[in-house]
Amino acid sequence: MRRLTSPLVYWEGDDDATSVETLKTEETPLAVVAPASEEEPGEPAGGDEGGRRRHARHRTPAAGRSLARRSLPWAVLLAAAAVAALLLRTYVFQSFYVPSASMEPTLYPGDRMIVVKIGLGTIHRGEVVVFRRPPGDKEDPGDEDLVKRVIGLPGQTIWSKGRTIYINGKPIAQPWLPKGEPPGAAIPRLKIPRNDYFVMGDNRPISYDSRFWHPHFVPRSYIIGEVVLVIWRHGHPYFKII
């Protein structure tokens, strides 16, 4: 660093001299002013380590804000996904398991099935539905949700003779039944009330269904949804459209 100098002028001789006898200069160093320190007041300079600590401290709030900004979209996305899953489960789709063998060979015990809730408009004969245990089912309190096939619709008259089921005096086709399966218990002549349904299991000899309940029917308000797909069977993924 270059050192600055300034001439210092003074007089030699008597105090009352009126002329300058000798003019001498002397190089006197001027103080060099160092740049203002970036140290915060009250902080001793600590070299590189102190600087790193200082800069790290200065970066911490900004880094925290940056992390929060990056995390916010993910938090919103996860919250939206949770809400969507809840809405789907509540109003659109839900998974159920088959509790018994009453629907064999269509469904087997332990099957996982997807039930569609939304858009459950007109219910048709032959559809497989999941419903809450109806008031007439007094002998199977262990299962709150049951699965059966719709056979009789509101306002119809139903009965059976042998393997044949009659609706309003006409026999109906039952392509879902295995050939040669015993008919099981007969259906007495019944008039299905308005907004009620007559349901049966496909495994007629063992199914405990509308033939045995008193009252015999499932109210419309008890029906949760229609079974559309099997996704799990015998301990592994399995896909079957119902």
Q: How far apart are CA 222 and CA 135, in angstroms?
A: 10
Active site residue 95: no
Q: Which of 195, 200, 192 is nearest to 219 (CA)?
A: 195
Q: What are the C-alpha distances in Å from 47 to residues 1, 38, 40, 43, 173?
A: 21, 12, 14, 12, 93
Show me where the domains of the chain are located.
98-241
Q: How far apart are CA 6 and CA 4, in angstroms?
A: 7
Average pLDDT, the chain: 77
Q: What is the pLDDT of residue 179?
A: 87
pLDDT tens digits, residue range 135-149?
999 876 677 899 999
Note the Cα 194 to chain centre separation in Å. Answer: 38
φ and ψ at residue 148, rounded to 5 degrees: -145, 175
Q: Residues 102, 108, 110, 112: what is their CA dihedral angle, to the nearest 10 degrees?
A: -110
SS3 142: coil
pLDDT tens digits, residue range 75-105?
777 777 666 556 555 557 899 999 999 999 9
Q: What is the pLDDT of residue 62?
A: 62
The active-site residue out of 100, 102, 160, 207 is 102
The active-site residue out of 117, 138, 148, 161 is 148
Q: What is the pLDDT of residue 48?
A: 52
Q: What is the pLDDT of residue 73?
A: 74
Per CATH, is 98-241 categorized as 3.40.640.10? no
